[in-house]
Amino acid sequence: MDSFPPDSGVDCGPMASPSIDTSKGSDSSEATGLRKPVTIRTLRRMVDSGEAFPCLTAYDALTAGWLQQAGIPVLLVGDTAAEVILGLPATIHAPLDFMITLTAAVKRGAPNCWVIGDMPFLSYQVSEAEAIRNGGRFLVEGRADAVKLEVDAAFVPVVTRMAQAGIPVIAHIGSRPQHVGRHGGYYSDGRRADDAYRLIDEARAFEEAGAVMILVEAVPEEVAAAIVDAVDVPVIGCGAGASCHGQIVVTHDLTGMTEWQPPFAQPIEAVGESLVRVAGVWADRVRRRAHGEHPYRMIEGESERLAQPSDSDDGTS
């Protein structure tokens, strides 16, 4: 999953789940929080009841804690961390150990959220054995609840073996940011009927292989709807229309922290502008030495002692 440049056209039940307090309504600005851990069973119950679930990216414990407090059940530690955290030009530059470390941090910050570790470029493509080993590291070291792989039909055996090893796998199909080099940039998938049929077949194949969820990115809405109808596992959409069971976007896009945002993830708050304002106020206080009353005081009598010449100041050498 990724944030996409302008004009690219892409990015990336009646009862509420007992783990999620939705009593204040979906438009409430008051944080509701998660009362107990979200599991894949929680998400399946939400799918069965027709309740869409929100997902957001997170890369640190502090932000993850706030998102848990907001009642976001699913957090993705995306390889977009390469861009928004490390300042690198593309998601393929995300280091494996770095991603595992961030995933563990997010889970510590939001222990009740269902946390997905995004397996970075070349962490699962080389061999099935490496895929299992690295996926296992996300579960054990990164404390992830599931891992996500950008895949096509060629990776069905990999997903099968990982599922057999006990690793909950999310199959990411459609537009795959780790493959942008092959396409000369970000792209939308499924715009032709043949491509749509291919994506539907891939979704079915990955469900049969043992994937616990499908993530579909940057496809026409009717294609995503057909995928939802074709499988029995939850489907998360990223720029795939409203038919998907869950929706994922990059948190930095929603908060206006990125320079541009995809059309389906427009900023809700201008947090970037707020940060500029806060930093500007702080800079002005520093320049004027207007910090307010200093909070620390010397012990009574010690200030006078400090003002007296010490033995080392008697002029002797």
- Average the pLDDT over 51-56 and give the result: 98
Question: Residues with Cβ < 8 Å from 95, sequence gap 6 or more?
Answer: 120
- Interior angle at CA 14, CA 169 and CA 219, nearest 5: 45
Active-site residue identified among 217, 273, 293, 300: 217
SS3 label, residue 61: helix
pLDDT at res. 31 = 52
Once rounded to an integer, what is the mean pLDDT over residues 190-207?
98
Q: What is the mean pLDDT of the chain?
A: 90
Where exactly does CATH 3.20.20.60 map onto the chain? 40-269
Question: In this model, does residue 170 exceed pLDDT 60?
Answer: yes
For the chain, percent helix, then strand, then coil, each to nearest 5?
40, 15, 45
Q: How confident is the model at residue 181 (pLDDT cuts 50, 70, 90)?
A: confident
Which CATH homologous superfamily contains domain 40-269? Phosphoenolpyruvate-binding domains (3.20.20.60)
Is residue 30 over pLDDT 50?
A: no
Check whether 313 has a pLDDT greater than 90: no
What pLDDT is attached to residue 315? Answer: 55
79-88, 219-228, 254-263: which has the minimum mean pLDDT?
Answer: 254-263
> Higher pLDDT residue, 75 or 22?
75
pTM of the model: 0.87
Measured distance CA(309)–CA(290) in Å, rounded: 30
Q: Give the pLDDT confidence score for residue 260 in this predicted structure.
A: 87
What pLDDT was estimated at residue 33? 87
State the pLDDT confidence band at 26, using cuts at 50, 70 and 90: very low
Q: Return the structure tokens found at 129.
A: 């054995």
Q: What is the pLDDT of residue 10?
A: 33
Averaged pLDDT, 145-172? 98
C-alpha span between 16 and 279 (Å, rounded): 41
Q: Check if 300 is active-site.
A: no
Q: Which residue has the higher pLDDT, 194 or 22?
A: 194
Tell me the DSSP string of 110-179: -TTSEEEEEPPTTSSSS-HHHHHHHHHHHHHTS--SEEEEE--GGGHHHHHHHHHTT--EEEEEES-GGG
Cα torsion 223, 226, 230, 235: sign: positive
